[in-house]
């Protein structure tokens, strides 16, 4: 690598996220040595993951954990990671599991010490519980970074990701399982969307030190990947990289809906 390449923004960004991944791997090793109970070990790894994300995400985001609810009375399962935006009306203490308002959430995630074929259905079930929720979108709200077609495809729901420190599932098996995974039906809000599109449970699977799986859906979204001059790729795709966290946060930042609101989303939530 020459000096110009070493000083490029892409190289520096990749180096920064590789350092974060290395720190998380150290936390995993500490958890394994210091704790024998699986639940406690998982909790320590989840704390480390939240701290790492909190340290690297832009300041307009905060990171916590807990359930997510919508204005229609539906609630998700417990989420290991909840990334909130400035639209969320308050900040929770990072160490306490608390409820979160969907319309102040940018993304949610599940943390796995080791992803296995037994653990994958749990991730999918949690993703389905989240993707059943419905946005409260005002008629004057404007989505700045999604096409109308992609809004219908995603129902404007935030992305759900899995962050695995280790993986015990063959990549081909993982791709097949995700392509065959059930979809979550989403009822129309009657405020914004004209049709009801069943939702994919997961949007990304990040395996530290190995790579990233990303769900490109029909290929019309803000995240598009191509091979050469070919049309955009569709469906689940595997990205082989030693900096998967860098890739995931980069793509998440592109994919997270950017909503320009005329009023606070709190007006949709009865008190």
Convert 180-196 to b/e letters by CB count within 10 Å (16 or more is b).
Answer: ebeebebeebeebbeee
Q: Which residue has the higher pLDDT, 138 or 184?
A: 184
Q: What is the pLDDT of residue 41?
A: 56
**Model pLDDT, residue 245:** 86
| 63 pLDDT more than 80 | yes
What are the φ/ψ torsions at residue 78 (nearest 5 degrees)?
-65, 130
Flag whether pLDDT at 179 surpasses 50: yes
Q: Mean pLDDT, to the nearest integer, of 172-200?
A: 83
Asked whether the predicted pLDDT for residue 1 surpasses 50, the reply is no
Beta bridge partners of 111: 163
Mean pLDDT of 176-194: 80
Residue 79 to residues 69, 112, 133, 247, 270: CA-CA distances in angstroms? Answer: 11, 12, 14, 22, 24
Cβ burial, residue 35 (10 Å; 0-12/13-18/19+): middle
Q: What is the pLDDT of residues 98-135, one digit of tens each?
A: 999 999 999 999 999 899 999 999 999 999 999 999 98
CA distance 92 to 255: 25
pLDDT tens column, 25-43: 776 667 656 545 444 555 7
* d(C-alpha 232, C-alpha 234), whole Å: 7
Cα–Cα distance, 160 to 205 (Å, whole number): 9
Angle at 153 between CA 69 and CA 65, to 5 degrees: 30
Alpha carbons 65 and 42: distance in angstroms, whole number: 14
The span from the first CA to the last CA of the chain, in angstroms, equals 58
CA-closest candidate to residue 158, choices 149, 148, 146: 146
| pLDDT of amino acid 188 | 65
* Coil vs helix vs strand at 191: coil
């Amino acid at each position: 690598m020459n000096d110009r390449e070493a000083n490029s923004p892409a190289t520096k960004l990749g180096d920064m996220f590789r350092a974060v991944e290395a720190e998380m791997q150290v936390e995993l090793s500490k958890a394994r040595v210091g704790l024998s109970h699986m639940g406690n070990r998982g909790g320590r790894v989840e704390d480390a993951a939240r701290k790492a994300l909190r340290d690297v995400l832009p300041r307009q985001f905060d990171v916590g954990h807990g359930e997510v609810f919508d204005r229609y009375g539906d609630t998700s399962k417990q989420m290991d990671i909840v990334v909130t935006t400035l639209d969320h009306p308050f900040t929770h203490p990072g160490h306490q599991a608390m409820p979160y308002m969907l319309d102040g959430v940018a993304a949610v995630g599940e943390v796995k010490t080791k992803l296995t074929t037994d653990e994958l259905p749990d991730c999918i079930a949690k993703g389905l519980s989240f993707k059943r929720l419905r946005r409260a979108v005002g008629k004057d709200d404007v989505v700045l970074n999604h096409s109308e077609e992609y809004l219908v495809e995603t129902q404007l729901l935030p992305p759900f990701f899995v962050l695995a420190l280790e993986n015990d599932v063959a990549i081909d098996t993982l791709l097949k399982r995700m392509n065959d995974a059930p979809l979550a039906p989403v009822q129309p809000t009657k405020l914004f969307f004209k049709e009801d599109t069943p939702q994919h449970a997961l949007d990304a699977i990040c395996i530290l030190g190995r790579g990233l799986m990303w769900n490109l859906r029909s290929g019309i979204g803000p995240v598009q990947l191509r091979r050469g001059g070919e049309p955009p790729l569709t469906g689940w795709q595997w990205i082989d990289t030693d900096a998967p966290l860098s890739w995931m946060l980069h793509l998440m930042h592109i994919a997270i809906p950017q909503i320009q609101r005329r009023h606070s989303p709190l007006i949709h939530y009865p008190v």
